[in-house]
Structure 1
Amino acid sequence: KGDLCDPTTLGPAVEGCSSCISCSGPSRVSEISDMWTHPSKIIDHPYNVNYIGIKDLVKECKKYGLKKFVRVTGLSVGMDAFSPIAVLLNTAASFAVKWQLYGEMEIRKSGLDYTVVRPGGLDLGYNYVHEMNRAISEGEETGEELSLALADDGGIPVVDIVRIGRGDVASLCVAALSSPHTSKATLGCVWVKGSGPSGWSTLLEAVKPDKTELEPKAHLQAVRVFLTTVAAVITLLLSARISAVVFS
């Protein structure tokens, strides 16, 4: 058993393994105290889990000769720092997107063969696209038939739906362990409207290795702009309310 927040446990956990699939991620909500507390002091902070923990894990995987590292992050990692989704997630979830990006950067630096899987929002009701299609055909769900979509080089599939089943993500991770096409690749995956693949094998044949370099993004600045804007709007509304009361 390994604990990402205790690096001494990671070596024994991966020793004897040939590959590693990492799906870890904290569900921590931002707190006011985060403003004056360094994230390294908060055990369940994304800094410690998504970044430092992954950095330590890939170090041990390389030390013990693992051949493949598969990491699950999220589509938001590939979005602009000022995109509404990235801003809201960073604001509400302790900069989870920022530290996922830093974790991905450490994976690339390690020299390990890797596949990073960036799923859309995980569907709460259905694990696989074929389960959703069955529900649609039987009238349990509305809409048209769905299929799988994939984008390589850290891209985001251009689709109307930004969600996917947990089972489909899991099957992609397993397929990435043996597919020759997923070496050093970052894959965005979602469901898409219309008939098409319900499995990954055909889509993986078209995957190319990453070309785009990962660099830090202005996540902190984006959150500051957002919070400043919110504070300004609240101040204006309160001022208007006070003025209305005074002159009424």
Structure 2
Amino acid sequence: MKAFVAGATGETGRRIVQELIARNIPVRALVRDVEKARSILPADAELVQGDVLDQQSLATALGDSTVLLCATGAKPSFDPTGPYKVDYEGTKNLVNAAKSRGIEHFVLVSSLAASQFFHPLNLFWLILYWKKQAEEYLQKSGLTYTIVRPGGLRNEDNPDSIVMQNADTLFEGSIPRQKVAQVCVEALFEPAAQNKIVEIVAKPDAPAKNFGELFASVT
């Protein structure tokens, strides 16, 4: 297995890279600024310069990767096309490149409430709407996928247990980014994670379950 990580220098992406390296999985990290990435990512990660909006560069950037994890996301800005370009067009470009390179498993970090059009987050340039469109494009691609929809993201880890449920059944809650990264990486190893949307939060009073049990509980 060799993992390609898009959005590798983001807060969630960098934790995914760390998690993969900890599991001794070789990583190709797609970055726009190599110097900046060197100061953020583990030295073991192979850095590949590129951009999800540059369709032509992606197939080359993927190289000999066998799995792809996408943790890109539009940064808050005054550009109303940001979520459309990054969360939809960028993901679409990655899906197309993954198909052309025979990627075995595509893990996409999306968001809780992605299906709720009238959610307040859609006031920010339809950010959830475009995440949902990207999800649907991946689902229709024919690729093996896992779509991970985390709740509110926290930078600090905590000992709370992960709660995992079916799509459109969790509507509130938060989760540390470290746990999101663990779910994304474990999805590559759990057959029960394939071709599913999983919604995740973390709760102190939830029963502790292993990843096999968590993924198997989602239909």
Same fold (TM over 0.5): yes
Matched residues, number: 171
Cα RMSD for the two superposed structures: 1.8
Query: Residue 56 of structure 1 corresponds to which residue in structure 2?
Result: 93
8 Å CA contact 1:114, 1:184 repeated in 2 = yes
Q: CA deviation at 1:89?
A: 1.3
CA distance in 1, matches of 2:175, 2:149: 11
Aligned pairs for 1:35-114 (under 5 A) are: 39=81, 45-78=82-115, 80-82=116-118, 86=119, 88-91=120-123, 93-114=124-145
TM-score by length of 2: 0.72
Q: What is the one-letter code of the residue matched to 1:156?
A: T
Per the TM alignment, residue 173 of structure 1 is displaced from its structure 2 partner at its CA by 0.2
Q: Structure 1: where are the runs of 5+ without partners?
A: 40-44, 131-145, 209-248
Alignment of 1:1-248 (within 5 A): 1=48, 2-30=50-78, 34=80, 39=81, 45-78=82-115, 80-82=116-118, 86=119, 88-91=120-123, 93-124=124-155, 126-127=156-157, 129-130=158-159, 146-152=160-166, 154-157=167-170, 162-197=173-208, 199-208=210-219
After alignment, is 199-208 or 173-182 more displaced? 199-208
Q: CA deviation at 1:195?
A: 4.6
Measured after TM superposition, the shift of residue 105 of structure 1 is 1.0
Say whether the 8 Å CA contact 2:175–2:202 is kept in structure 1. yes
Normalized per residue, which structure has more helix?
1
1:12 Cα offset (Å) = 1.1
Secondary structure (helix, strand or coil) at the match of 1:75 reads coil
Asked whether the equivalents of residues 149 and 199 of structure 2 are also in contact (C-alpha less than 8 Å), the reply is: yes
TM-score with structure 1 setting the length = 0.64
Q: Give me the whole-angstrom Cα distance separating, in 2, the residues matched to 1:62 and 1:20.
A: 11
| TM-aligned CA deviation for residue 102 of structure 1 | 0.8
Residue pair 1:148, 1:199 contacting (<8 A) in 2 also? no
Amino acid at match of 2:164: L
User: Percent sequence identity over matched residues?
Assistant: 29
Higher strand share: 2
Matched residue type, 1:81:
F
Q: How much has 1:116 moved relative to structure 2?
A: 0.3
Q: For the residues of structure 1 that align with 2:153 and 2:203, how far apart are their CA atoms?
A: 14
The one-character-per-residue Cα deviations of 1:24-49 (angstroms, maximum 9, x if unpaired) are 00113346xx4xxxx3xxxxx11111
Structure 1 residues 69, 174: closer, same or farther in 2, change over 3 A?
same
- What is the CA–CA distance in structure 1 between the aligned matches of 2:204 and 2:117, rounded to whole Å? 27
Quick check: which has more Rg, 1 or 2? 1
